[in-house]
Structure 1
Amino acid sequence: MSLPEPNSLTSAIRSSSRSAREKSGISIPLEAIVRLLQSSAFLSSFERVSAQHGLALPLNFASPSDELNVISLLSLLNFGSGYRVPLHLETGRGTWDNIRLLIFSMYIGASEEDFLSAKGMQQLTETKIAELMRINVYVEKPHKDIPGVTVGELDGPLYELVKLISGVLIQTGQLLEKAGYPSLGAFVIEALKEGARQSKTHTSDVQVVLDRLIRFIPAFQDSHTVDGQPVYLFKKALFLVHAITIRFGSLSSPPFPIPDTSQIPVFADNVLPSLLIHLGVIQLPPSKLFRSIFPDANSPDRLKPLLSEVEVISDSKPHESLSVPTEGPILTTDQACILRAAAVDACEMIVEKAHELNEPPWLQNMRLPELDMWLWSVAKDRTDYRKLERFVLKNTVFF
């Protein structure tokens, strides 16, 4: 699939997402947006929860470039949402926390083997990744020749996830080494500097940076063809540039150029569309394509408690102690792409309407990345939200 021109990259995300959403018959009623924006659930939590970005890393970094490399790897591997339930069963943690643990383990073990370098990324075998993630990727199966005897074989959903992670690390490491970059972070720094050279302001041009990331690294090329039309989403690349802004943008003297991410589209995974469906904003048509997906999501009896203010999960109730989440509907690639596109478009409409309402006053300053962070974080902030099903797409490295 051809990629958009750098200067039209974010507009291509928006326009292709809206087109995919409209062609599928998915509606986003303005009254549903206003209902959400005026709900107790939203008003009581937005300012607090939207600041919970999960990027405060409990590691001691030797330099800003080392931290940037870790954030870049964390963004590169920010996928695996389709394996949420098996990961909870195995570790008691969700996908994001398991990927964070992997990155932490790679960083802590870097004194012996530099897994964080381009060369080291290629040395991470499937067995080593499973060890660093502390997960079991063996499944007991009957012995082919000896009745009553079982043997452990590499198989199952977690092994599938480990293979995806290994494939992304090896492929990316090979590309970086061939191009002369010692690490992913080194490549990202060069992309930031290139964005600054082409920018007419003092910040790095976010579209130039995104374009460099997407064109060079296949694992960032999150675009799909649905009914012959391209749909551009680029979730992980958008996440990375905003993570850089969050971690380094507030410094008085940033160590490298920082992109302005205040106007970029949201980072659509499976959480955003699933939650927006449950909250009544995204409304699916009764077509064959969507008939069996969250069929009771828009009923008033379900919506009322979800839009009301409730007690949130406190620090005394660690997430690991909560019950294993229920597996959501398993979708095709086209279905997942269209719902993610609908989330991109819905968030554009939500922010636009929030600025019109301007009450309370802080709505006037709401930005898309903040709305993204609220949706992603509030899904874990409330016990009832954590129980909501999220759709599932396995065997993808994009979300």
Structure 2
Amino acid sequence: MAFPPSGEYLQSIRTSSRALREAANILIEEHAIKRLLLSPAFTSSFKRVSAHHGLAMPLNFPSPGAELNLLSILSLLNFGSGYRAPLHAETGRGAWDCMRAFAFSLYITSSVDEDDLLSARGIQNISEARVAELMRVNVHTEKPHETLQHVTIGELGGPMYDLVKLVCGVLNETGGILVNMGYPDLGMFVLEALKEGKKAISDGNNHADVEVVLERLVRAFPAFQDMAVVEGQKIFCFKKALFLIHAVSVRFGSADPALFPVPSTSHLPVFSDNVLPSLLIHLGVIDISGSPNLSTLFPHAGAPEQLAPLLATATVGTGDAKTLPKDGPVLSTNQAYILRAAAVDACELITEIAHKLDEPSLDWLREIQLPSLDMWIWAVAKDRSDYRQLERFVLRETVFF
């Protein structure tokens, strides 16, 4: 599949998402958006919850470059959502928290061992056994012995082994590319892309820096090539690459500008995963009832009783940590792309309508930016106990979200 034209990556995400959403007969109506924007659940929590970016790293870095490298690796590993339920059962954490802990383990181990597991050669050569060890997951399943009664044997297998293979594959592949290109680590590649982006800014295109970084990431590494052809329609999401660029802005936006160029990311499309579309369906913004291949996936979404949490006060915080999450509907790759595209377009429409609202007591709505909206949707799914129980769709065997 061909990449978008140079300089048109962001626009390609937006146009392909709208086209695929409309082709699937998914509706996003203005009244549903306004109902969300003006609901107490949104207005009372947006400013607080949208600040929970999850990028604070309680580590002592020897240099900004070291932090940039870890941030880049963490963004590369920002997937595994389809394994949320087994990860909670195994580790007590969801996919994002597990990947953060794993990235921290890579960093801490590298600081005391001779081998730098975060270098290009380190991630190129890391083994499945080491990944499983640092992720602290069990990659064996037990089955009865073929001939000995009451005896079980362990063999590699199960969802944790599947996830470990994906993680190891992404690291090995990315490390090999970096080594072949002559980069010591992923952070140095990102740093060079940031500098190239800075040079590309002109009076006619203030967002050229983001375009350059995004294109360099996507073209270089298959793990960032989050795109497909679905029912004859091209779709570009590039969730992890967008997230990486925004993470750099969040972590280094207030740092000394002499360190390295930091792009503005307020205009980025959202980083669409499984949480954004699932929650927007539950909250009645994305209407899949008229889509033949999707209409039965969330049978209770959008019903009055499901929308009630918008008007009710729910327990705020992490909810009941002992209650394991349940998997939602299992989707095909094409179905997942369609819903992720719908979420991208829905958030574009939400911000457009928010910016036009005439609500004197809520004038801050006119300043909502897409990354902040993305973070609110993603974080409020954890923040409220009732929202934590809402099903999210599942797609395993993907390294894109």
TM-score normalized by the length of structure 2? 0.96
Query: What residue number does 2:279 align with?
Result: 275
The counterpart of 1:189, out of the listed 171, 191, 208, is 191
The alpha-carbon deviation at position 239 of structure 1 amounts to 0.3
The counterpart of 2:365, out of the listed 363, 366, 374, is 363
The counterpart of 1:391, out of the listed 390, 393, 398, is 393
Q: Provide the C-alpha distance between the structure 2 equivalents of 1:142 and 1:322, rounded to a whole number of angstroms.
A: 30
Q: Provide the C-alpha distance between the structure 1 equivalents of 2:73 and 2:258, rounded to a whole number of angstroms.
A: 20
Q: CA-to-partner distance for each residue in 1:251-283, whole Å, 9 max, x for gaps?
A: 243511111111010000000000000110001
Query: What residue number does 1:124 align with?
Result: 126
The alpha-carbon deviation at position 307 of structure 1 amounts to 4.1
- Superposed, 1:8-87 pairs within 5 Å as 8-87=8-87
Query: What residue number does 2:158 align with?
Result: 156
Query: What residue number does 1:303 align with?
Result: 307
Aligned residues of 1:204 and 1:260 also touching (Cα < 8 A): no
Aligned residues of 2:314 and 2:384 also touching (Cα < 8 A): yes
Q: CA-to-partner distance for each residue in 1:336-384, whole Å, 9 max, x for gaps?
A: 0000000000000000000000531111111000000100111100111
Query: What residue number does 1:248 align with?
Result: 252
Q: Provide the C-alpha distance between the structure 2 equivalents of 1:72 and 1:62, rounded to a whole number of angstroms.
A: 16
The counterpart of 1:175, out of the listed 166, 174, 177, is 177
- AA aligned to 1:65 is G
- Superposed, 1:200-211 pairs within 5 Å as 200=202, 205-211=209-215
Aligned residues of 1:203 and 1:258 also touching (Cα < 8 A): no
Cα RMSD after superposing both structures: 1.4
The alpha-carbon deviation at position 42 of structure 1 amounts to 0.2
- AA aligned to 2:350 is I
The reply on whether 1:257 has 2:255 as its aligned counterpart is no
What secondary structure is seen at the aligned counterpart in 2 of 1:122? helix
Q: Provide the C-alpha distance between the structure 2 equivalents of 1:120 and 1:95, rounded to a whole number of angstroms.
A: 23
The alpha-carbon deviation at position 66 of structure 1 amounts to 0.3
Aligned residues of 1:42 and 1:307 also touching (Cα < 8 A): no
What secondary structure is seen at the aligned counterpart in 1 of 2:8? helix
Aligned residues of 2:25 and 2:290 also touching (Cα < 8 A): no
Q: Provide the C-alpha distance between the structure 2 equivalents of 1:281 and 1:333, rounded to a whole number of angstroms.
A: 22
Query: What residue number does 2:237 align with?
Result: 233
Q: Provide the C-alpha distance between the structure 2 equivalents of 1:47 and 1:121, rounded to a whole number of angstroms.
A: 38
What secondary structure is seen at the aligned counterpart in 1 of 2:216? helix
The counterpart of 2:221, out of the listed 217, 220, 225, is 217
Structure 1 segments unaligned to the other structure (5+ residues): none
Q: Provide the C-alpha distance between the structure 1 equivalents of 2:50 and 2:6, rounded to a whole number of angstroms.
A: 29
The alpha-carbon deviation at position 203 of structure 1 amounts to 8.1
The alpha-carbon deviation at position 149 of structure 1 amounts to 1.7
Q: CA-to-partner distance for each residue in 1:234-264, whole Å, 9 max, x for gaps?
A: 0000000000000001124351111111101
Aligned residues of 2:315 and 2:386 also touching (Cα < 8 A): no
Aligned residues of 2:39 and 2:310 also touching (Cα < 8 A): no
Aligned residues of 2:36 and 2:310 also touching (Cα < 8 A): no
Cα 1:307/1:126, change in 2 over 3 Å: farther
Q: CA-to-partner distance for each residue in 1:73-107, whole Å, 9 max, x for gaps?
A: 00000000000000000111111010001000000
Q: Provide the C-alpha distance between the structure 2 equivalents of 1:17 and 1:242, rounded to a whole number of angstroms.
A: 20
Number of residue-to-residue matches in the alignment: 395
Q: Provide the C-alpha distance between the structure 1 equivalents of 2:225 and 2:266, rounded to a whole number of angstroms.
A: 22
Query: What residue number does 2:351 align with?
Result: 351
The alpha-carbon deviation at position 302 of structure 1 amounts to 1.4
The alpha-carbon deviation at position 287 of structure 1 amounts to 4.1
Q: Provide the C-alpha distance between the structure 1 equivalents of 2:357 and 2:296, rounded to a whole number of angstroms.
A: 35
The reply on whether 1:341 has 2:345 as its aligned counterpart is no
Aligned residues of 1:39 and 1:308 also touching (Cα < 8 A): no
Cα 1:364/1:252, change in 2 over 3 Å: farther
- AA aligned to 2:220 is F
What secondary structure is seen at the aligned counterpart in 2 of 1:396? coil
Aligned residues of 2:200 and 2:209 also touching (Cα < 8 A): yes
- AA aligned to 2:37 is L
Q: Provide the C-alpha distance between the structure 1 equivalents of 2:81 and 2:343, rounded to a whole number of angstroms.
A: 16
Q: Provide the C-alpha distance between the structure 1 equivalents of 2:291 and 2:14, rounded to a whole number of angstroms.
A: 24
- AA aligned to 1:83 is Y
Aligned residues of 2:26 and 2:290 also touching (Cα < 8 A): no
Aligned residues of 2:52 and 2:379 also touching (Cα < 8 A): yes
Identity of aligned residues (%): 57
Aligned residues of 1:248 and 1:254 also touching (Cα < 8 A): no
Deviates more, 1:200-209 or 1:26-35: 200-209
- AA aligned to 1:73 is I
Q: Provide the C-alpha distance between the structure 2 equivalents of 1:68 and 1:97, rounded to a whole number of angstroms.
A: 19
Q: Provide the C-alpha distance between the structure 2 equivalents of 1:372 and 1:177, rounded to a whole number of angstroms.
A: 34
TM-score normalized by the length of structure 1? 0.96
What secondary structure is seen at the aligned counterpart in 1 of 2:335? helix
Q: Provide the C-alpha distance between the structure 2 equivalents of 1:137 and 1:365, rounded to a whole number of angstroms.
A: 47
Aligned residues of 2:269 and 2:371 also touching (Cα < 8 A): yes
